[in-house]
Amino acid sequence: MWRPVSLLWGLCLCGLAAPPLASAAERTAKITLMALGDNRVADLDALTGRYGLMIASANVGQDVIAAFRQRNPGALVFCYVNTSDINADSAKYPYYARIWTDTNAHEDWFHHDAAGARVRIYYPKYKNRCAFNTGKPGLQQYLAGLVVETLKTGRYDGIQLDNVSTEFPFRLELAGKWISAPPVDLTPAQWTADEVALLKAIMKAVADAGLKEKKIIFNHMRSGEPQESRAYVEVTDGANCESWMSLRTGLEGRWGWKAKVEQVREANRKGKLTNLLCIPQFAEAFGYKQYHHDRRKMPPEIPDAFVRKFGEWCGEPDKFITADLSKGRMVEVVERGEPAIIVSHWTGIYFNGEEEGFKTFQEAVRRLQAKYGRLIWMKLSEIARYWAAKELTQIESGGGGAPAAGGSHTGTTMEVTKHVVLLLAISVAGCSLGQTRLARDQSAKPANAPDRGQANPRRKATMRIGAAQPRSRLIDWRLKPAEALAQADKSLGELEQIVHKAALKDVLPGAVMAKRSAATTR
């Protein structure tokens, strides 16, 4: 059965926030296709050619893999390998029949309960899924050999090792609900150590076979078990993360956005791959009446209607600015002199590979340029710094007007107001202060208007009073309020020193003077 899921691969949104400690993992995919059945080439006809990765079970034939690669140039294919158990009822498939025959002869390769019976997992749904004892060296070598043999077929770019659980799956309270019974003398710490030993054995076997270019990832990394996840990530090339984000994901806590993003950021900075699976929740998006049923009856892949749900302005540039350039949300914001920030979801920009949202954005930009001429386009980080400088800086004239003919200047002063906006990471000294507002019309100047720098009674001239780009002074959002205030105060003090230094050295002769005594704390 196909299992399409949205994907962030390699350096994801949070991985870009910090410089890599090792070589950055390549960004290689946007959508993953899970092919965990006896799929055929005809099944691909129902899918669009927009996938960057397919995770396929060994049952998927070479013809399907070849067709997938042809329809998705540059896509990767990983083989699914389960390392936690073997289901006796899957012996009808040749691949699993062989594994059952090979492992069934080694009783010590399985966990046993107090009665001496094999522990079964995913129980009672599956009656005969017998749990492997992954701490046994013999089993480790067998599974490692299976991985190497699979890679040597030449079909796959890597392996996904499934059910390498960061959560201890054999707790007593799970008996009858998830496991048949707990194993004898198995602790959470020993379980983690056994899993790490298995992963190391597989990675060594792959390297010894001369297959270092192949990638080995495990399923799955979880923010709720950071230490265990970290131990597994350290010895592999990366990890899957099932249900990484959903409509139910909160902000705080060990399962919240912050914890999830920080975990992925840490892995990416170490050069590890992260395959972050965000399974579409059709029911929540479109209502339970339509989609509240067996998941196997869900659409074969993410439909355009689902993407449009998160990109409702796709294909509608008039909502930004109309064709006659007279109306639209961007026009309203720009005309008010406020920063005009365009925010979009990735799904709306990418739009199932058709890039409908990106095309809409391009048209909106073309119209805005036509209406307003030269605009100042900034990234979000630049907008934050600019607006922080605008709010924290006051420019006053000490009298007089234009510079005197002899070259002397009036007593213009700058007062830095110590008003700290918490939770906003700012780099105060890194801003170009005193520029025009974002997206302000800078071309609507009469033909007979004086050049910049000359007096114009109708319009205030743009005045650039500082253009320093010193080192970054970002304020960490994780700081406590008192620490953030102290850091902001320090940055503001350094800013004043920069301006004062410029004035003393005649870099900005007479134009700017720091006025420390007038600064007040609000």
Residues 31 and 169 in one domain: yes
Give the torsion sign (CA, 370, 371, 373, 374): negative
Residues 141 and 57 in one domain: yes
DSSP one-letter code for 60: S
Residues 416 and 514 in one domain: yes
How many CB atoms are closer than 10 A to CB 500? 15
Residue-wise burial string across 201-211, b where 16 or more C-beta atoms lie within 10 A, e elsewhere: bbbebbeebeb
Say if CB 120 and CB 110 are below 8 A apart.
Answer: no
Residues 171 and 214 in one domain: yes
Domain boundary (256, 271, 302) is at 302
Give me the pLDDT at residue 20, please.
33
Give me the pLDDT at residue 11, please.
25
Give me the pLDDT at residue 199, please.
98
For residues 429 and 474, give the distance between their C-alpha atoms in angstroms, rounded to a whole number.
Answer: 10
Query: Would you state the structure tokens that stand for residue 384, as one six-digit string?
Result: 């934050």
Residue for token pair 């690669």: 69
Domain with residue 57: its CATH number is 3.20.20
pTM, two decimals, is 0.58
Give me the pLDDT at residue 159, please.
97
- C-alpha angle with apex 171: 167 to 177, nearest 5 degrees? 100
DSSP one-letter code for 338: -
Residues 292 and 310 in one domain: no
Residues 356 and 385 in one domain: no
How many CB atoms are closer than 10 A to CB 426? 24
Residues 343 and 421 in one domain: no
Strand segments, DSSP code E, in 337-396 are 393-396
Find the radius of gyration of the CA atoms of the chain: 30
Residues 212 and 350 in one domain: no
Domain boundary (271, 302, 333) is at 302
Give me the pLDDT at residue 474, please.
76
Give the torsion sign (CA, 5, 9, 13, 14): positive
* 53 CB-near residues (< 8 Å, 6+ apart): 7, 9, 28, 29, 31, 32, 33, 75, 76, 77, 78, 275
Residues 194 and 64 in one domain: yes
* 41 CB-near residues (< 8 Å, 6+ apart): 63, 64, 67
Give the torsion sign (CA, 110, 116, 122, 128): positive
* 320 CB-near residues (< 8 Å, 6+ apart): 313, 328, 329, 330, 342, 360, 364, 367, 368
For residues 111 and 100, give the distance between their C-alpha atoms in angstroms, rounded to a whole number.
Answer: 15
Say if CB 214 and CB 157 are below 8 A apart.
Answer: yes
Using alpha carbons, select from 235, 230, 234 the residue that is nearest to residue 206: 235
Give the torsion sign (CA, 303, 353, 162, 88): positive
Using alpha carbons, select from 50, 4, 1 the residue that is nearest to residue 351: 50
Residues 115 and 202 in one domain: yes
Give me the pLDDT at residue 96, please.
92
Residues 390 and 351 in one domain: no
Give the torsion sign (CA, 331, 334, 338, 343): positive
Residues 186 and 85 in one domain: yes
Give me the pLDDT at residue 335, please.
86
How many CB atoms are closer than 10 A to CB 194? 18
Per-residue confidence in pLDDT tens, the chain, 522 aa: 444 333 333 222 222 222 333 334 444 346 788 888 878 888 888 777 678 889 999 989 999 999 999 998 888 999 999 999 999 998 888 999 999 999 999 999 999 999 999 999 999 999 999 999 999 999 999 999 999 999 999 999 999 999 999 999 999 999 999 999 999 999 999 999 999 999 999 999 999 999 999 999 999 899 999 999 999 999 999 999 888 877 678 888 999 988 998 999 899 889 999 988 876 665 555 554 554 555 555 566 665 555 444 445 566 788 889 999 999 888 888 888 777 787 776 766 766 667 778 888 889 889 999 998 878 888 777 878 877 777 777 666 555 444 433 333 334 444 443 333 333 333 333 333 333 233 333 333 444 444 444 444 444 444 444 444 556 677 776 777 788 788 887 887 777 777 666 555 444 333 333 333 333 333
Say if CB 268 and CB 20 are below 8 A apart.
Answer: yes
Residue for token pair 């609900």: 177
Domain boundary (280, 302, 324) is at 302
Count of the separate structural domains present in the chain: 3
Domain interval for residue 477: 380-518
Give the relative orientation of helices 257-269 and 226-234 as an angle to the nearest 10 degrees.
Answer: 20
* 157 CB-near residues (< 8 Å, 6+ apart): 76, 77, 78, 214, 215
Assign 3-state DSSP to the chain and report helix, strand, coil percentages, each to 5.
35, 15, 50
